[in-house]
Amino acid sequence: MPSTTVRLDAPLDMHLHLRDGEMLHNIAKESAHTFSGAIIMPNLVPPVSSKEEVVAYKERIMEAIGEARFTPYMTLFFKPDYDREFLESVRDEITAIKLYPAGITTNSEGGVSGFDVEELRPALEAMSDLNIPLCVHGETNGFVMDREAEFVSIYEKLAEAFPRLKIIMEHITTKASVEALERFENLYATITLHHLIITLDDVAGGMLQPHLFCKPIAKRPEDREALLNVALAAHPKVMFGSDSAPHPRHAKEACGCAAGVFTAPIALQMLTELFETHNALDNLQAFLSGNAQKIYGITPLTKEVLLEKRPFTIPAEYNGVVPMYAGEEIAYSLKGVRHG
Amino acid sequence: MPSTTVRLDAPLDMHLHLRDGEMLHNIAKESAHTFSGAIIMPNLVPPVSSKEEVVAYKERIMEAIGEARFTPYMTLFFKPDYDREFLESVRDEITAIKLYPAGITTNSEGGVSGFDVEELRPALEAMSDLNIPLCVHGETNGFVMDREAEFVSIYEKLAEAFPRLKIIMEHITTKASVEALERFENLYATITLHHLIITLDDVAGGMLQPHLFCKPIAKRPEDREALLNVALAAHPKVMFGSDSAPHPRHAKEACGCAAGVFTAPIALQMLTELFETHNALDNLQAFLSGNAQKIYGITPLTKEVLLEKRPFTIPAEYNGVVPMYAGEEIAYSLKGVRHG
């Protein structure tokens, strides 16, 4: 009996942490092997915020991935004092700019601490004119289960004040964010693999599971349901973004564990299984590539990824980093990668 | 300048896990030193469910505490097939019976899996007649943030069907449970130290904190507020119960950490600080002993505990068990313990 084979063209990961140094060398190839490209988050220490830094970081990434056919779509770490001249000078080196509220996640200490429209206007008007999308980590400093829902009013304020600016609500985790997508034409969203699968129950409902702990934290069942609905339908305003965020094992399993789930090497296999389970395989291509191409206006490198319905046991580690569901068996295996 | 001294008479911990074997020997003295007595939870492996087991467990506790002046108020692990004859035979050895929904927390696999009133009637009627309080771990198998609120309807069903049975809602964590206290005369509650202090934010809002992970999990700010209101007022239906639940360091800091916060050695110091901060020191004695004496009809061993307003740094470990807030400084120190 022939097994089911699924073909994906030019998969894109529209939210990826590749880190730097040893970690970059340990994990970049995992994404570069199966994805055609990825939006690379700029929250290094110090954050990537100058033309020299973004060019140099891209070079380090290219070195780390070796011969792989992969585009790192670079981003800058948003600062309110970016002016038009600076943005024009860096436009060709970047695909987007990422805004972090100050102190909200790993290495975000230098982020934005107020959302005063007039203070942000010069930078965001220039980005609108230059057609640079603004990617946003949308959380307040409020109670952990409310942070994203509380941020929706800030998304709306920005969307209204800068109607030509493409605003990407990154790694959304709530029904409230899904609903905001419909209210403003210029709001878009990325959704991770893990937020389509887990809720807070999986993190803290049984034993505490550090390898499923991330920011934003996984929310309620009705939130996951809302995310699944738009992802499985490949709603044209949503894209896959893994938010794959490696930490060394000791930092995840220590007392006071760091936030981040590492999914890059298993994302395509698990998404295929998830979409198949929900009879939505026809929409996977759009969720994984087509929507992002339209929203960002990018044409990715050709790459054809074949997945086969054959059990695959997720390794315990990839170069010292524990992936989501380490040791567990999933339904799809990677069969091959072809360049066009 | 004389420092503030606070005197507590016969403090009682109405919900305590002493475990067994080496752990019992490592930690029992911490409670026995400063508390006059404690309700001892029966969730050993196997659970304490016969007269022989409860007598033998009490003997092991007495041996572990040595010369300390301390009453272990013993409990049985509730089983629906306990009959009147059995309950009469064991009445003098126990202070209460603890009901666990099956599989809901550490070592609760043999608990109750349905809450059919008629199935429970023989045992609960007999307990009513014999004036044996029923202590309940009130959580469903639902979503982790909803489990306790969902259980309130079961509390109400039991309270209505068995109006002469004293039902103790153990370690309540929600506004919903606080409100249920007012609706039924025969519902009472214990409240832990940690649920008066932390919310889910402290467990998973920053880094993940395994030493603050417990069941029921800490809830929302408005839930903590409702708990604080009744505790600080020493509402006559609420009692202190630490739910102090030791695990060895490796079980707390491992991947997939066990639930339980160890507070026994620092509970009185921290409660004194908490009540002082809220100008409620006058109510601490009732919360810590008076209410429990009336609800359970017990007369504890005399013991006078003196606390002094002098900074105390919580040790990193007590015999291999990491306490809540290890290494942090609190405002009150233990000054002395006197027997009456």
Model confidence pLDDT, tens digit, residues A115-173: 999 999 999 999 999 999 999 999 999 999 999 999 999 999 999 999 999 999 999 99
A294 occurs within a structural domain: no
- Higher-confidence residue: A105 or B23? B23
CB-closest option in B145, B207, B257 to A200: B145
At A181-210, the pLDDT tens digits run: 999 999 999 999 999 999 999 999 998 999
Strand order in the sheet with A304-313: A5-9, A304-313, A329-338
Q: Which of B43, B154, B35, B164 lies closest to B109 in space, CA to CA?
A: B43
Residue range(s) defining the domain that contains residue A127: 16-263
Computed over every residue of chain A, the mean pLDDT equals: 95
pLDDT, position B249: 84
Are A31 and A70 contacting, i.e. CB atoms less than 8 angstroms apart?
Answer: yes
**Chain B positions in Cβ-Cβ contact with residue A201 (cut-off 8 Å):** 143-144
Q: Is residue A63 part of a domain?
A: yes
Residue of A nearest to B222 (CA): A143
**CB distance B296 to B133 below 8 Å:** yes
Q: What is the total count of domains within chain B?
A: 1
**Cα–Cα distance measured from residue A297 to residue A132, given in angstroms and rounded to the nearest whole number:** 11
Note whether B208 contacts A259, CB cutoff 8 Å: yes
B103 pLDDT higher than 90: no
Contacts with B, A 281-320, CB within 8 Å: none
Residues 73-92 of B with CB under 8 A from A: none
Q: Do B209 and A143 make contact, defined as CB atoms within 8 angstroms? A: no
Q: Please tell me which residue, B3 or A290, carries the higher pLDDT value.
A: A290
Q: Check residue A2 and give its pLDDT.
A: 56
The minimal CB distance from A209 to the residues B201, B220, B256 is found for B256
> CATH code at A224?
3.20.20.140
Query: Higher pLDDT residue, A252 or A284?
Result: A284
- The share of chain A scoring above pLDDT 90, in percent, equals 90
Closest CA to B304 of B28, B36, B125: B36
Return d(Cα B148, Cα B141) in angstroms, integer.
Answer: 9
Residue range A270-320, pLDDT digits in tens: 999 999 999 999 999 999 999 999 999 999 999 999 999 999 999 999 999
Q: Between residues B13 and B102, which one has the greater pLDDT?
A: B13
**Is A282 among the domain residues?**
no
Which chain B residues are within 8 Å of A252, Cβ to Cβ? 255
pLDDT at site B258: 84
Section B206-226 average pLDDT = 95
CA-CA distance, A194 to B131, in Å (whole number)?
A: 50
Question: φ and ψ at B313, to 5 degrees?
Answer: -95, 120
Q: What angle do helix axes A147-161 and A117-130 make, rounded to 10 degrees?
A: 60
Inter-residue contact A238 to A191 (CB < 8 Å): yes
What string of DSSP letters covers B209-253?
-GGG--SSPP--HHHHHHHHHHHHTT-TTEEE---B----HHHHH
Quick check: A140 contacting B, CB < 8 Å? no
User: pLDDT digit string (tens) for B172-211?
Assistant: 999 999 999 999 999 999 999 999 999 999 999 998 999 9
| pLDDT value of position A276 | 97
Read off the tokens for B280: 């409620």
Of A204, A210, A254, the CB nearest to B217: A204
Per-residue pLDDT tens over the stretch B278-298: 999 999 999 999 999 999 999
Both tokens assigned to A330: 């999933």
| Cβ <8 Å between B256 and A208 | yes
| Contact call for A255 and B205, based on CB within 8 A | no
Sheet with B5-9: strands ordered across? B5-9, B304-313, B329-338
Strands A187-191 and A37-40: unpaired
Task: Give the closest-approach CA distance of B286 to chain A in angstroms.
Answer: 32
Distance CA A236, CA A292 (A): 9
Instruction: Please name the residues between 248 and 287 in chain A that touch chain B, using a CB distance below 8 Å.
Output: 252-259
Residue where the block lists tokens 């409100």: B179
Q: Which amino acid is at B286?
A: A
Q: Closest to B201 (Cβ–Cβ): which among A144, A213, A257? A: A144
The helix (H) or strand (E) run that includes residue A222 is helix A221-232
